Amino acid sequence: MLFEPQRSNMAEKKTTAKKKTTAKKIDRVAKQVSQEEVKADLKRAEKKSAEKTEKKTEAQEVKPNGKPSKKNKLKNSEKQHSKKYRKAIELIEENKIYEINEAVTLVKKTSTVNFDASVECHIRLNIDPANSDQQVRGSLVLPAGTGKTKKVLAIVGSDKEKEAKDSGADFVGGADLIAKIEKGWLDFEVVVATPDMMPSLGKIGKILGTKGLMPNPKVGTVTNDIAKVVKNLKSGMIEYRADKNSIIHSVIGRVSFSETDLAKNYKELIDTLIKVKPNGVKGAYIKSIYLTTSMGPSVRIQQ
């Protein structure tokens, strides 16, 4: 009889321990269930959020009148090209870099317009245009010309008027032409001037500057050798200048030019750019070169 209370206590302890173990198991299961529910809730929330975002995007891409937005139009830009353009681009191998002789033949074939289109060269340089020591700007004479005769205005003193007229300038004068420009006359494409006339040109600096017509010694349009510059302009002198994206955009002829003349002009442009390479440029100077025609597809050229 003396051992019965002890046995009873032990039984109670075992029962209590079992209850605690069971309670812990129940807690663990409950926690697991709770975590799974949380995960399921998160998945449902993510799904709803994704659906809302998708609906919002669709609403933004389609205008209230049901017409596609500009964004969608850009996506479908390839479809909007003319049949001529799509047919022309099929002649160009994707990711191929062509030699100049192949490229000029190809751009002539891929011209998509009915007029004598310009042949353009676009050259990306490894320069920083914001750095004054790395600005690339100047002029050159294309051996085969540009295929277009420019209207040249010469602002000179009376002692240079005959020289300018004899060399082929379309308009020659001094203060009289400056006054005419002040009143709005701009029937010319390029302006050359002698250094002594530059102070007088300050009056119309804003007018000429906004049109890109202001004479500049860097491109050779401010000079005492007026006859030489005018003749060069008439025979194929062009200006080049790297834009803010470090790209030179230049016309090197027209589709009617022979492959030989286009290649000559291209070589002259590249050789000139190499000669004026800024000293501060590190690594490859020319990053990429493309040829194209007015409204035609582009052809990449080997550097």
pLDDT tens-digit profile, the chain (303 residues): 444 555 556 666 666 666 666 656 555 655 554 556 656 666 666 666 666 665 555 555 444 444 545 445 444 444 566 787 888 888 888 889 999 999 999 999 988 888 889 999 999 999 998 888 898 999 999 999 998 888 999 999 999 999 999 999 999 999 999 999 999 999 999 999 999 999 999 999 999 999 989 999 988 999 999 999 999 999 889 999 999 999 999 999 999 999 999 999 999 999 999 999 999 888 899 999 999 998 888 899 987
Amino acid at 30: A
pLDDT digits (tens, 9 = 90+) for 164-188: 999 999 999 999 999 999 999 999 9
How far is residue 60's CA from residue 213's CA, in Å, rounded to a whole number? 44
What tokens does 67 get?
Answer: 């017409």
Taken as a whole, the chain contains a residue count of: 303
Query: Can you tell me whether residue 246 is helix, strand or coil?
Result: coil
Half-sphere exposure of 171 (CA within 13 A, CB side): 20
Q: Say what the pTM is.
A: 0.67
CB burial string 229-253: b at 16+ within 10 A, e below: bbbbbbebbbbbbbeeebbbebbbb
**DSSP of 206-260, one letter per residue?**
HHHHHTT----GGGT-B-S-HHHHHHHHHHTEEEEEB-TTSEEEEEEEETTS-HH
Q: Walk me through the domains of the chain, giving residue ranges and CATH numbers.
A: 92-147+238-303 (3.30.190.20), 148-235 (3.40.50.790)
202-to-108, 260, 284 alpha-carbon distances in Å: 43, 43, 40
**Alpha-carbon gap, residue 294 to 297, rounded angstroms:** 9
SS3 206: helix
